[in-house]
Structure 1
Amino acid sequence: MDTYGRDSSNDGENGDEGIPVSESDRIGPIGEREPGEERSSQKPNERPRVLQGSPASRYWDNTKETHRFKPWLRSTGRARVPFAESRKPGALQTPPQKQRETSSDTMRGFSIRRNRAAAVAIDGGSVSPRNFSLAHQCTCPKGSELLKDYIPEDQYEEFVKRRAKELQQYKTRMASELSRLLFASPNSPLQYPIQGYIVQPLTSTLIPGLGLHAENRSSYKVSLSVSKGILTTNITPEQTIIKGSGKNKLFIESRSLVTLNNLLAKVSYTSTDYHINTGDLATFQFEMHEAVFPIAIKQPHVPVLYDMGTDISSQVTITTKTFQRYRHLRVLLDSIRQFYSNIKIIIADDSLETEHITGENIQHYIMPPAQGWFAGRNLAVSQVTTKYFLWVDDDFMFTEKTKIENLVEVMEAMPELDVVGGSVKGNQFYFALIYEEGEEIEGGCLYRKSGGKFQTLPGYPQCSMTNGVVNFFLARTDAVQRVGFDPKLQRTAHSEFFMDGLGTLLVATCSDVSIDHQLTTSENKSPLYNKFRYPGQGDVEFKLKLHFYKNHLKCIKYG
């Protein structure tokens, strides 16, 4: 890894990593493919089928390669009848040898489970198909490293088995019933909450907004069912039947629509098992109408707040890691004190021969020798007590353009941000991470694209959203502590922190705050220093092997 956080062993051939691109070169939310790259082909029988003008709907099951059929409801005046009962002669029929009974595992109401492609045709029109499958083979960008090539052949089979088992454990932790895809039925008389119904575990909570809007009938009957809790309602009034109160399926029948809606307004949900972050799906039915709505089950967090105080010293701690470069370190410290006389500085030091660093408000932590880059970062950040920390390399140098206050202002104006990078000698060195999950056996594809950024921050045109930044950044302390720095990576590491934080850390880069870089001295040319500074082939191969297992990647490209 070089001074700016670039992995020198994986830099592009043109050596142009980190060169900012023009506004027209910015990438969109999904990123761009390199010229000449091919998208993975899709077999014809894996494509969702759209039945134009048909009164039926089909979708393709990629797993079992079977057509499945379910009649959809069509409005015919006041009554609603299934298409199967109102089909005209000559209408498209389901293939006789492939017609199967629909189950909850295929399409129920308007919910589709994972790994299905849906196409819906309603009342002679069609809805454009979308493939909602999460499991697909990703496309490795041209020039990617194929990571399985770095796994010894005699270890590969067992290695992959262990990885597959660990992936399932990961998915169990991350999965939620609330991630299931739901469709809202058209012209439904059912009213129900579609978002924002959150309950505490094991706590009875009213379900807001339940209601029925139907025309006159002699009797009205609805049902509600859940899988991870129980449903209760008020006492039974006259001319009303309630069954299943205190169970997971509740039936209410009344001759009065007003009475029915009053009872629905008093239905409560209580989860039956303790979990801090999960969910349930409630099914609401009336005659041939069915709706499914989410219930979020969450244990509220106890807030952890930081006292920002009145000046920068109570808001930010400066952190750095040093190894065999005390001359550079002292220049850095002197430059900090020229502009910030009282700000706390934390130093993690894994030098082979240590020197004592003294000074006002300086904490110097001696580590076992040569523990590496990320171990030092972990140690330094673990001792931060302020809301933010500023990361700098030990051979940087503060100037009049190193305005920490400007970065704090951006973070405070946009509390969702976790990391804001600046520039080193005017160069920002930001990058985008373009990631495709891929399927379970082979893994995903990751492309680190130098110069990739997204939209500018509102009110801060000098700042843009991105996925990774240079080794000079302000970060939210608690957010970075949750992601952490993998101490297995000792020599070749920087981008890997942002890879581990992808989808967790919101990152931006700003061009108006800069730090200088010291000139090369004899310390940098020392054979002892260079032995640890520059990674060998074994370090590079270890990192790629780690990506294969830990990040479940098939390939990676450092661009």
Structure 2
Amino acid sequence: MTSLAGDKKLFFVSLISFVTGSMLVYVNCWLSSPPCYVNVYTRIADVESFNVPPGYTARAILRPMKKEEERPLASTPVYTGLIGEKPCECFGAWHRDFFSQKQWTARQRNQEKCLQRYERRQMVLQGVHNYVDGSSPISYPSHGLQVRPLRAVHLNGLRITWFDSKSIVTNAVHTVRLQCERGVFRQLVKVQGVVVQGAHTNDFTIQTSKPQQLNRQLWHIVYQNTEFDTNAFDLVKLHYMKFSITIPVHIRHRLIPWLHDQGQGRIQDRVSVVVKTFLRYSNLRRLVRSVGDLYPGTRIIVADDTPYQKFESFQDENTDHYIMPQFKGFFAGRNLGLSQVTTEYFLYMDDDHYLKPYTKLEILVSLLDRTDYHVVGGVYEDLEMFATTIRVLGDDTHACYEKLRGWYHSIPDFPGKGISFIPL
């Protein structure tokens, strides 16, 4: 009987202690801060348990779920039309009207191949976006945004990835501020429950107590360039709570590629030979003959500053011999020859050079076609000591070329050390 009475007493004491402890917890939460109610907004299974290192505190945060919009929102056409590039407006006859269908199809095929090689060599950041997700709640494109002068671009990837649980419980107002120097911010869509200040200016503020609506509004904000420039950067700065980030926007004109007629695709159709000569006509005669023997029909451009009284003409069907003012020099002659090139590639030769039967220009052309190198060269008279590589060095105020004997490395699918590879 004594044991039964003791058990009952212990049961009532435990019950009273449990009720008292529960009441104290609720009183403490009511007196201290709203984060006690974090589990009202998140499932227990979603909260990871971990050990907090000494000197650090843990804070509960809520991450919004990434959902697609339930329904499309109406955009403002006058601003939507600013996104991307302005389409061309052509009047009169089209270029293709001057060609037969067969000629036009072949021309397009050649230009497409030429364009592929051109684009391979370009460092184009458009479409290469690096979305940053770190300790900051702001996810944003750190590079890769490009806009044409006076046009607009979406700030793709810009969003707030997490929110403080206390601000959720208290229904606090979330404020995002955007600033720039060379443009303005446009609001494509007005999202319900969001207050916008500074629309169509370079100092733009978004305020709302609804996190999901905040990100919906950010998705429909575009940057429009208003200060015309052909190649410049604007820095879009965003501030949220105590965090700040910077988004570089590249303002640049479209680069127009040079597309060349490839004819039948032979070396003769794609390569011109540029020669600077002075007096040494016997050497020049040997050069012209060697090119004609190995690659008949190749156009040879000769720039000649020989004194007028000693001038000899080499003009013929495949050789254009240009008379320069006498004694103008090596570089003036090369520049003149280059100005007359109409093929996709050209080969610089001195007048005492010539091609040998084992010379393979096909290898050089193939390497240019299949890599992003701009300049290739070969050894002279089987002497590898003449094979050099060039690297551009310098800083903001000076630039120079470093010329080294030898090569950097071999390139797969191409024969080894007979070729020097010069990336410029």
- Give the distance between the partners of 1:397 and 1:436, measured in 2 at CA: 32
Q: State the partner residue of 1:196.
A: 144
- Give the distance between the partners of 1:432 and 1:338, measured in 2 at CA: 30
- Residue 335 of structure 2 is aligned to residue 394 of structure 1: no
Q: State the partner residue of 1:251.
A: 205
Deviation at 1:300, TM superposition (A): 0.9
- Give the distance between the partners of 1:330 and 1:295, measured in 2 at CA: 55
* Amino acid across the alignment from 1:422: G
Deviation at 1:185, TM superposition (A): 8.9
Q: State the partner residue of 1:206.
A: 154
- TM-score normalised over the length of structure 2: 0.63
Q: Indicate conservation of the 8 Å contact 1:318/1:346, yes or no.
A: yes
Q: State the partner residue of 1:312.
A: 267
Deviation at 1:250, TM superposition (A): 1.0
Query: Which structure ranks higher in relative contact order (CA pairs < 8 Å, sequence separation ≥ 6)?
Result: 1
Higher mean Cα deviation, 212-221 or 191-200? 212-221
Q: State the partner residue of 2:294.
A: 339
Deviation at 1:436, TM superposition (A): 5.6
* Amino acid across the alignment from 2:258: V
- Residue 372 of structure 2 is aligned to residue 424 of structure 1: no
Return the match for 1:273 from 227, 234, 237: 227
- Give the distance between the partners of 2:142 and 2:158, measured in 1 at CA: 11
Structure 1's 448 and 200: CA in aligned 2 closer, same or farther, altered over 3 A?
Answer: closer
Deviation at 1:334, TM superposition (A): 1.5
Aligned residue for 2:257, secondary structure, equals coil
Please show how residues 476-515 of structure 1 align to structure 2 within 5 Å: 506-507=423-424
Q: Deviations over 1:253-288 (max 9, x none)?
A: 111111111100000111111111111111112101
Q: Indicate conservation of the 8 Å contact 2:136/2:243, yes or no.
A: yes
- Give the distance between the partners of 1:187 and 1:268, measured in 2 at CA: 25
- TM-score normalised over the length of structure 1: 0.49
- Residue 58 of structure 2 is aligned to residue 77 of structure 1: yes
* Amino acid across the alignment from 1:252: I
- Give the distance between the partners of 1:222 and 1:447, measured in 2 at CA: 48
Return the match for 2:239 from 267, 275, 285: 285
Higher mean Cα deviation, 372-381 or 188-197? 188-197
- Give the distance between the partners of 2:250 and 2:404, measured in 1 at CA: 38
- Give the distance between the partners of 2:328 and 2:337, measured in 1 at CA: 13
Q: State the partner residue of 2:44.
A: none
Q: Indicate conservation of the 8 Å contact 2:272/2:301, yes or no.
A: yes
Structure 1's 436 and 381: CA in aligned 2 closer, same or farther, altered over 3 A?
Answer: closer
Return the match for 1:456 from 390, 403, 410: 410
Higher mean Cα deviation, 375-384 or 228-237? 228-237
* Amino acid across the alignment from 1:244: G
Q: Deviations over 1:424-467 (max 9, x none)?
A: 11124243556663686xx67x5745315323323325267755
Q: State the partner residue of 1:369.
A: 326
Q: Indicate conservation of the 8 Å contact 2:148/2:254, yes or no.
A: yes
Q: Indicate conservation of the 8 Å contact 1:317/1:344, yes or no.
A: yes
Q: Indicate conservation of the 8 Å contact 1:185/1:291, yes or no.
A: no
* Amino acid across the alignment from 2:353: F
Q: Indicate conservation of the 8 Å contact 2:237/2:244, yes or no.
A: yes
Matched residue pairs, number?
291
Q: Indicate conservation of the 8 Å contact 1:455/1:465, yes or no.
A: no
- Give the distance between the partners of 2:255 and 2:401, measured in 1 at CA: 35
Structure 1's 318 and 235: CA in aligned 2 closer, same or farther, altered over 3 A?
Answer: closer
RMSD: 2.7
Aligned residue for 2:236, secondary structure, equals strand
* Amino acid across the alignment from 2:333: G
Q: Deviations over 1:319-354 (max 9, x none)?
A: 111111111111111122211221111111111120
Deviation at 1:235, TM superposition (A): 5.0
Structure 1's 409 and 201: CA in aligned 2 closer, same or farther, altered over 3 A?
Answer: same
Structure 1's 439 and 395: CA in aligned 2 closer, same or farther, altered over 3 A?
Answer: closer
- Give the distance between the partners of 1:269 and 1:329, measured in 2 at CA: 59
Q: State the partner residue of 2:255.
A: 301
- Give the distance between the partners of 1:405 and 1:235, measured in 2 at CA: 56
- Give the distance between the partners of 1:289 and 1:76, measured in 2 at CA: 19
* Amino acid across the alignment from 2:58: G
% same residue: 31
Structure 1's 79 and 432: CA in aligned 2 closer, same or farther, altered over 3 A?
Answer: farther
Deviation at 1:412, TM superposition (A): 0.6
- Residue 223 of structure 2 is aligned to residue 242 of structure 1: no
- Residue 366 of structure 2 is aligned to residue 385 of structure 1: no
Structure 1's 438 and 384: CA in aligned 2 closer, same or farther, altered over 3 A?
Answer: closer
Q: State the partner residue of 1:225.
A: 179
